[in-house]
Structures are given as structure tokens and as C-alpha cells.
Structure 1
Amino acid sequence: MSLPVKEIVLAPGEGNHLTTGNSEIIFKVVGADTHGHLGLFENIIQPGGTSPVLHIHRQMEEMFYVLEGKVEIQVGNQIVQGQPGAFVLVPRNTPHTFANRGTQDAKLLIMFCPAGEREKYFEGLAELLKDGQTPDRDALIELMRQFDQEPVEI
């Protein structure tokens, strides 16, 4: 029998913080908090900030909700210029990526269902990007594959 999900109440800016390149991730809820059902992260992206390569997830859906600024989101063949209030659902096996091409910071909520241990991907990414280094391509691809993320070759 699994333990019940416990309440989590976080004020703005609260949650475990992680820096990946020049973007910041704040974990609001991770898979361990929800029996793996979902994870919700806040991503603060500087203009030109770190953005993922075009990729797919085979085992999860991903959702984006723009809170502040402008975020360009590619989902399948569509490119969405997301402004506050914009929402995008990315079904499994759908190529997607996102970037802040604006001149101000952008804030994005990212949800994963199921979550598994998705936060560990970002922890690994932070390690690969520490001290401003460019990650080894093979190490990055291995990290991606470990956590249900596969690059899409163009």
C-alpha cells in the first residue's frame, strides 16, 4: 500500500533551485511527491538562455504554460510565440523544443506526466553545463536517453 500524497504549499520563488547553463529551474513538485504521476517545474529563461535540442519523449506528455515574457515553443511542425497565458500540450513522440528569443527574462511552467524522476535529468544537465562548459555530446545524449528524452535529428 502506498503512502498518501502530502500537501505541498510553496510561496513564489520557493522550491529547490537548480541552475542549468544560464537558466534557472525551481522544482515545485517532483515524481517522488506524487507517486510518479506528475512533476511541475518553473523555468526562468534569460534571453538567449539555455534551450533543449529538438527532442521527443516516448513515455510522458509534457506541458508548457507561459507565466512571463515570451517563449518560442516548437511542437511538431508548429512554432508558437507564447506570451503569458499561452499553453502547449506536447503528446508523446512529438518533436518539441523551446527558447527565449526575446529581450527580457521569461518564466515558464513545465509539467511532466508521468514524472518518474524527471528532476534527475535536470540535475545531470546542470552538472554537464557547470562553469559554462559545453557538454560532451555523447554524455548529453546518454543523459537524455536515461530520462526518456531522445534528440530528433533534422
Structure 2
Amino acid sequence: MKNETIRIGQTTIDFLLEAADTNGSLAMFEFGVPAGAKVPLPHSHEHYDETIYGLKGVITFTVEGKTIDIAAGETCFIPRGAIHGFNNIKQEDAKALAVITPALIGPNFFIECAEIVNVDGPPNVEKLKLVMAKYGLVPAIPKM
């Protein structure tokens, strides 16, 4: 699976380390977010932490309501249970490194999401929520 780019809409994911590579201690992937790209629903993780390291451009994360711009060389720690999401609101494409500890998520999650998102027309949000739940992600659906 390594070296195979996964595309979910406009976002790309390239796994560098999976659970099998690290005895389950961490997973690591690069993700690219073009300027103005549609991005995943805000969510939280029940059983793992996520650390983001900026590689190129600026990705704007919102963690528990606080906005954090992550540029190249900057970091952000997202503890389990924290509601977060991200956008690229700048004019330049962005790329970041994500480290998941422990390695409870891997390429299969993103492949399953891609199968739902990469269709003609709007994605089936209910199917997406089921895949998220299967991998320990809790969508944070805004109250209407």
C-alpha cells in the first residue's frame, strides 16, 4: 500500500508508515490539500491522538473551536476526543504530515472513504458516517 496515493475528492493521502511497520505504535502519512479544496467533516477520534506537521503552504485547523494556521515547520497536537477539522483557505496548495498514535487508522479507512466520496453527485453522508464510526471517528455534525 505504501507509495500508492489515495485520493478523496481533491485531498491526497500518502502513507509512510502503517501499524504493521511500527508494531501498532504509530501510523504516518502525508496529506495534500489544494487551495479551496472540499475537506472532511469536522470530527473527533475516540482512541488515538493526531499530530500535524506542516510541510508546504498553510493548512488552517480548527481544534475545539480554536483556529490554528499550520505553515511549513509548524505543529499541532490534536488529543483524542477533541473536535477538529481543517481547510486550505489560502491561495497556495498545502501539504502536511500526520502522525497517529497508536496506529488505529490506516489506508483502508481512506480507501473506504474514497469509494463513497469519489462518485458523481453528492456523497452518501450516512455511508460516510458508518465508515467513520467503524474506524473510531465521531462526526461533529453542526446543529441546524
Per the normalisation by structure 2, the TM-score is 0.91
What is the 5 A alignment of 1:1-154? 15-154=3-142
Deviation (angstroms), 1:122 = 0.5
Deviation (angstroms), 1:117 = 3.9
The verdict on how the C-alpha distance between 1:47 and 1:132 changes in structure 2, with shifts beyond 3 A counting, is farther
Question: Structure 2: where are the runs of 5+ without partners?
Answer: none
The verdict on how the C-alpha distance between 1:117 and 1:72 changes in structure 2, with shifts beyond 3 A counting, is closer
Distance of 2:130 and 2:119 partners within structure 1: 20
The verdict on how the C-alpha distance between 1:117 and 1:55 changes in structure 2, with shifts beyond 3 A counting, is closer
CA contact (8 A) 2:31 2:95 kept: yes
Deviating 4+ runs (over 3 angstroms): none
Secondary structure in 1 matching 2:5: strand
Bigger radius of gyration, 1 or 2?
1
CA contact (8 A) 1:118 1:147 kept: no
Distance of 1:139 and 1:98 partners within structure 2: 21
What do the CA deviations read for 1:110-147 (whole angstroms, capped 9, x no partner)? 11111124321111111112245421111000000001
Distance of 2:86 and 2:39 partners within structure 1: 6
Please, which moves more after superposition, 45-54 or 63-72? 45-54
Distance of 1:57 and 1:51 partners within structure 2: 17
The one-letter amino acid paired with 1:125 is: C
Please, which moves more after superposition, 122-131 or 66-75? 122-131
The one-letter amino acid paired with 2:52 is: F
Percent identity for Structure 1 against Structure 2 = 27
Distance of 2:39 and 2:107 partners within structure 1: 16
The verdict on how the C-alpha distance between 1:111 and 1:132 changes in structure 2, with shifts beyond 3 A counting, is farther
The one-letter amino acid paired with 1:45 is: V
Secondary structure in 2 matching 1:115: coil
Distance of 1:88 and 1:147 partners within structure 2: 22
The one-letter amino acid paired with 2:86 is: F
What do the CA deviations read for 1:97-121 (whole angstroms, capped 9, x no partner)? 1111111110011111111243211
Deviation (angstroms), 1:84 = 1.1
Deviation (angstroms), 1:153 = 3.0
